[in-house]
Amino acid sequence: MTTVIGAGDRSDARRNRARVLSAAGEAFAERGFDVPLGDIARRAGVGAGTVYRHFPTKHALVEAVFSQQLGELVASGERRMARSAPTDAFFGFLTDIIGTARSRATVCDIMSADASWPRPVLTATVARLHQLLAVLLQAAQQAGGVRPEIGPDDVVALTVGCAAMTAARHDHAAGLRLVRLTLDGLRPSAPGVTEGRSFRDTRGPYPAPACEQCGAALTLRPTGRPPRYCGAACRQRAHRRRPAS
């Protein structure tokens, strides 16, 4: 006899899968890759068989969790693109990526620790994320909101650095302020530090240091303490003139 799967059964399966993914994301964030699948099943309120039916291996579960997290980012970026001006959508998407990076850190580390995993689902999601980022960047540049020489790889590297910067800060608000200052560097501006020009002191040269005893010019060394005397004779003379303690 053929078993017919009804719409109710399919909706139950989708709900169970979503519950497992949510529970797994929390468990991996708290305990890393070593958390047993049985613990994840109990957290999700389903049987272990339900977990194995959807995800036959823990590797498949980790990949699905990370893919879902990135997929949620893609969805947020698409919403921003549909509702906001190009420049606002681009910078809003970057702040979404950076602001949620901490919640993905453990799963990302698990995936990065072993590059041999077959990960077709995750690969496809990452490709969608990069494609959306490129589209948002191009639209913002055409609107005049982002410097024209910036490329997608530059943006990816910058967001990774900003995520690491916020993770290192205990003060979340201060971290976000630094992120905004950093992202402002992507906006068109007058030539500055990114133009490769050398830095010069427009106030003119500093006066050369002089020996404290004889006034002779001193040569500054690249390391160590700044010199105070031109030689041993002046150093000894200075020591003799010190008052006895």
Is residue 153 situated within a structural domain? yes
Number of domains making up the chain: 3
Is residue 135 situated within a structural domain? yes
| 38 and 77 housed in the same domain | no
| 157 and 117 housed in the same domain | yes
| 49 and 163 housed in the same domain | no
Is residue 6 situated within a structural domain? no
Residue 117, domain CATH? 1.10.357.10
| 150 and 216 housed in the same domain | no
Contact 13, 30 (CB under 8 A): no
Q: Which of 19-23, 124-128, 168-172 has the lowest mean pLDDT?
A: 168-172
Q: Which residue has the higher pLDDT, 40 or 172?
A: 40
| 66 and 25 housed in the same domain | no
Q: pTM score, two decimals?
A: 0.68
| 35 and 142 housed in the same domain | no
| 73 and 171 housed in the same domain | yes
pLDDT, tens only, 213-227: 787 777 766 556 677
Is residue 51 situated within a structural domain? yes
- Average confidence (pLDDT) over 166-192: 80
| 175 and 73 housed in the same domain | yes
Is residue 162 situated within a structural domain? yes
Is residue 85 situated within a structural domain? yes
| 77 and 183 housed in the same domain | yes
pLDDT, tens only, 111-155: 666 656 557 777 888 889 899 999 999 999 999 999 999 999 999
Range of the domain at 36: 12-56
Is residue 4 situated within a structural domain? no
Is residue 138 situated within a structural domain? yes
| 111 and 26 housed in the same domain | no
